[in-house]
Chains A and B, each alone.
Chain A
């Protein structure tokens, strides 16, 4: 399967714990995006990488959130000291680069539930 892969699919944790999610993009894609989606809402942009460089980060993103893409391939999203409001679906998407808008392909997401 050459699509975007996300792990784990589900994560249940207690408030205050740290969690880390992984995203493996489509292999030739150099752009990688993280989004958060809550029920009944559209995906909300969190951050974006071009290769290993983090080029954009939502100003709504708490400093408890950090993302990395160390070798320009897979990416991790970590949430420290989780709160109830962090419960959501975390989606990863990837696209090829270039000077024109390119379609983003989404993974199945990681559903985070905070107890």
Chain B
């Protein structure tokens, strides 16, 4: 089955700096890779996703890159703000919603 690893487990950055979180996956059949943000006591919320037919996707300050050959994908947040502080989860799955696995999460702290 799929196995998703995520690094680092915690990340502290100064406000305005960039943050990068990396994930690797094991199942070559996975072709859908979303990222979720979860604030304390709240539901996970989708912030960006990427499908295997593209290598990069950007949405304002957030970008995701995918390297299918190496089986890794990364989240990039630029110009970080204190409200970006949360736990971020990557996930991997196939087109049909199966074999969906989340990474263990990265706790991001943006220091003012």
A residues sitting closer than 8 Å to B (CB atoms) are: 31, 33, 35, 40-45, 48, 50, 55-56, 91, 95, 97, 99-109
Interface size on B, residues (CB 8 A): 28
Q: Is the CB of A56 within 8 A of B34?
A: no
Q: A100 touches which one: B43, B44, B46, B95 (CB < 8 A)?
A: B95
B residues sitting closer than 8 Å to A (CB atoms) are: 6, 31-34, 36, 42-46, 49, 51, 89, 91, 93-105
Alpha-carbon separation in the docked complex, A33 to B34 (Å) = 15
Contacts of B43 in A (CB 8 A): 91, 106-109
Contacts of A104 in B (CB 8 A): 34, 46, 97, 100
Q: Is the CB of B46 within 8 A of A103?
A: yes
Q: Is the CB of B34 within 8 A of A43?
A: no
Of A31, A33, A106, most buried by chain B (CB within 10 Å of CB) is A106
Number of A-B contacts (CB under 8 A): 66
- The verdict on A42 contacting B89 (CB below 8 Å), with A33-B100, A91-B43, A101-B94 known, is yes
Using A40-B105, A91-B43, A103-B34 as known contacts, list a sample of 10 further A-B pairs with CB atoms less than 8 Å apart, ordered by residue number in A: A33-B97, A42-B89, A43-B89, A44-B102, A48-B100, A101-B32, A101-B49, A104-B97, A104-B100, A108-B42
Q: Is the CB of A41 within 8 A of B104?
A: yes
Alpha-carbon separation in the docked complex, A99 to B51 (Å) = 12
- The verdict on A103 contacting B44 (CB below 8 Å), with A41-B105, A56-B98, A97-B97 known, is no
Alpha-carbon separation in the docked complex, A106 to B99 (Å) = 17
Alpha-carbon separation in the docked complex, A31 to B45 (Å) = 17
